Amino acid sequence: MSYPIENRLRPPVELISAGTLFIGSAVMAAAPPWIPVGAELSWGMSLAMLAGSAWRASQAWEVIRYQGNLRLLKRYALKPNDIPWSNEVLFLGMGFRWTALHTRRLIDAVQPRNRRYVEPSWLYRTLRRLERKYEHHPNHNIQWLRALMRREAWWNRWVPLPDIGGNPALHGVEPNEEAVVMPLSGRVGHTLVLGTTRVGKTRLAELLITQDIRRGDVVIAFDPKGDADLLIRMYIEARRAGRTFYVFHLGFPHISARYNPIGAFSRITEVATRTAEPLPSEGNSAAFKEFVWRFVNVLAKAMTTLGERPDFQSIYAYAVDTESLAVRYFTWWLDRVRPGWQTEVTELESAQAKLLNEASKKSGRSLRTMAIMGFIRDNELRDPVADALRSVLSNDRTYFEKLVSSLYPLLEKLTTGKIADLISPDYANLDDPRPIIDWMGVINQGAVVYIGLDSLSDHEVAGAIGTAMFADLTSVAGQIYKFGVGAGQLSPGKRKLALHVDEFNELVGDSFVPMVNKAGGAGYQVTAYTQTWHDVEAKVGDAAKAMQIGGNFNTRIMLRVE
């Protein structure tokens, strides 16, 4: 077996010498009178032959086992309680390091002359044929035999292959598999998992997430399609570890936590960026997206100055009725910089009634609003937010709504139905038992969060919310860079954040690039799962940008990709 040129696809001829040596051992042990040797020498020779027989038999067994592995793909199952975890390495499963020896073995296995060692045997094919033939037979004894033929047991070398596809020879070329691990120090370089549909990406995610939870990391899992098994596994592991668990699920708003994607920010411009991110930016759409960004930024600045927390419902309300927000802001601002301004505006409204009336009809704004804007202009009062609001209101209302018309369908989708209460929560409603989460709070608590986006029902809403969440997480990473985790707390602990993104291609966008590019230093460990890299290219619409994203994943795990 240990020769420079290995050949295991052959009859196990070692059995011949093993049998011969065994017979010789038995003969010497019997010490017949016609063998002229003493008893001690006879027993010594018997033991030597028996050892040689065992050695040759073990070599024959290696050949037999190897040939069996090429045909039989053993099912690998692991109970949740048996999943190993470590503070130094990450367990990925069972396997082996591929070397030139395995390449040579696989080449031999695909040779036509070796088909009989690789393809299912005649008995295996016969058993499968009988199973199909008698699948609906009414006799219970026959059904018992069918079940017996399918039972996984040490004696059953003809058990059906697991229903996962693939080529058993890829694993069979190495009979002795061992645990495959990767060092945790490499996870901050981020991990990409590629595998086509139904080949185990989500189950691998369960395996990795379970270890992250037991290790004490903050875990956030994005699941666009909403896998119930993954949700249950995360809940069980979080409860077992005594960790706080949150579920945000667009498909089940009655049990979901609430989350405001644009309510927490370090810079006010983030509100406009997250709101406008889902809008198309190719070709002529780029200009309209910039109009939308500026418009939302003006609204957000006015709202925060007035003490309001932005959310999608309020942004939509003020986008449709910008005038009401502007009047409130003008009133708040002028009360501070020009006491008694209302009397002056009333006088101006009376003195220039005709001119203001024409301007009101042209712009579609109220007469009072036009009078306030005229008063501000005539008195050369300056304020960045007030100037921006005046600029918006000075445009013809119909014309301006055309410029920002792409914003309305998006906000309509995000504020329709029960999900509106999830992503635009009422912070003053103390009767709502559903918690309101934010990422910095999640990190400080060391919580576990499951994000179910229900993309099969509405992929646009799922993509918009997922993108806003990524942008929010990136902003939090910036805060951690500057101030650390638990800034202001007595004894803040440093935590790693394991971010798992299933169906990564549905959520990737411009906001994801800085996260994988720079957030590793903030303790972010991103693990992304997708079918093929072409899906990512199709989503971002630019091969160069897709390569930029892919270049930030230092570790790649390949499942079956075709």
Question: Tell me: the pLDDT tens digits for 454-495?
Answer: 988 888 888 889 888 988 998 888 888 887 776 656 555 678
Q: How many Å apart are CA 368 and CA 391, to the nearest integer?
A: 17
Contact predicate 230/205, CB 8 Å: yes
For residues 471 and 375, membership in a common domain is answered with no
pLDDT value for 87: 93
Of 413, 442, 463, which closes a domain?
413
Is residue 92 assigned to a domain?
no
Amino acid 210: pLDDT: 95
pLDDT at residue 250 in the model = 92
Considering the domain boundaries, does residue 135 fall inside one? Answer: no
Residues 444 and 514 in one domain: yes
- Asked if the structure places residue 365 within a domain, the reply is yes
What pLDDT is attached to residue 562? Answer: 66
| The total number of residues written for the chain in this structure | 562
- List the CATH number of the domain containing 489: 3.40.50.300
User: Is there a single domain that holds both residue 342 and residue 399?
Assistant: yes
Looking at the structure, tell me whether residues 448 and 396 fall in a common domain: no
**pLDDT (0 to 100) of residue 382:** 92
Predicted TM-score (pTM) of the model is 0.85
pLDDT at 2: 53
381 plus 315 within the same structural domain? yes
End residue of a domain, out of 413, 443, 477: 413
Tokens 């005709």 map to which residue?
354
Give dist(CA 330, CA 369) in Å, integer.
9
> Are residues 258 and 434 in contact, defined by beta-carbon separation less than 8 angstroms?
yes
Kindly report, residue by residue over 517-526, the tens digit of the pLDDT.
888 888 899 9
Answer yes or no: do 347 and 221 share one domain. no
pLDDT at 491: 56
Residues 351, 473: one domain?
A: no
CA distances from 175 to 69, 72, 91 (A): 7, 11, 20
Asked, for residue 537, whether it belongs to a domain, the answer is yes
For the chain, residues with pLDDT lower than 50 are 1
**Euclidean distance between CA atoms 213 and 229, whole angstroms:** 16
Neighbours of 94 (CB within 10 A): 13
Residue 63 lies in a domain: no
Verify that 552 and 440 share a domain, yes or no: yes
| Domain span holding position 394 | 269-413
Among 413, 445, 462, which residue terminates a domain?
A: 413
Are residues 387 and 499 both part of a single domain?
no
In three-state form (DSSP H/G/I as H, E/B as E, the rest C), the secondary structure along 444-503 is: HHCCEEEEECCCCCCHHHHHHHHHHHHHHHHHHHHHHHHHCCCCCCCCCCCCCEEEEECC
Q: Are residues 286 and 404 in the same domain?
A: yes
Domain count, the chain: 2
SS3 content of the chain, % helix, strand, coil (to 5): 55, 10, 35
Is 96 inside any structural domain? no
Q: Looking at the structure, tell me whether residues 291 and 393 fall in a common domain.
A: yes
Cβ–Cβ < 8 Å for 503, 225: yes
For residue 232, tell me if it sits in a domain.
yes
Supply 138's token pair: 């009414």
User: By the 8 A CB rule, do 175 and 69 touch?
Assistant: yes
DSSP assignment letter at 309? P
Q: Is residue 297 part of a domain?
A: yes
Is residue 206 domain-shared with residue 274, that is, in the same domain? Answer: no
Helix, strand or coil, per DSSP, at residue 280: coil
